[in-house]
Amino acid sequence: MKSKRPIAKKLEELRKIAVKTRAGFTCEYHRGIRAFNRKPCDGYLHAHHISGKRSIFQKTALENGVALCAGAHLYIAHEDGGCGTRAAELKRWAAGVREVSIEHLESLGNVLNSDKFEIKEQLEDAIRMYEQQEPVIIGAKPKRR
| Alpha carbons 72 and 70: distance in angstroms, whole number | 6
User: Is residue 18 exposed (0-12), middle (13-18) or buried (19+ Cβ within 10 Å)?
Assistant: buried
Whether residue 125 is predicted with pLDDT greater than 80 in this model: the reply is yes
Is 119 inside a domain boundary? Answer: yes
pTM: 0.72
Is 86 inside a domain boundary? Answer: yes
Is 99 inside a domain boundary? Answer: yes
Q: How many domains does the chain have?
A: 1
pLDDT in tens, 71-111: 788 878 887 666 667 888 888 888 888 888 888 888 877 77
- Give the model's pLDDT for residue 144: 42
Most confident listed range (30-44, 111-125, 129-143) = 111-125
Average pLDDT, the chain: 76
Is 13 inside a domain boundary? Answer: no
Domain holding 40, by residue range, is 23-130
**Phi then psi dihedrals of residue 29, to 5 deg:** -75, -50
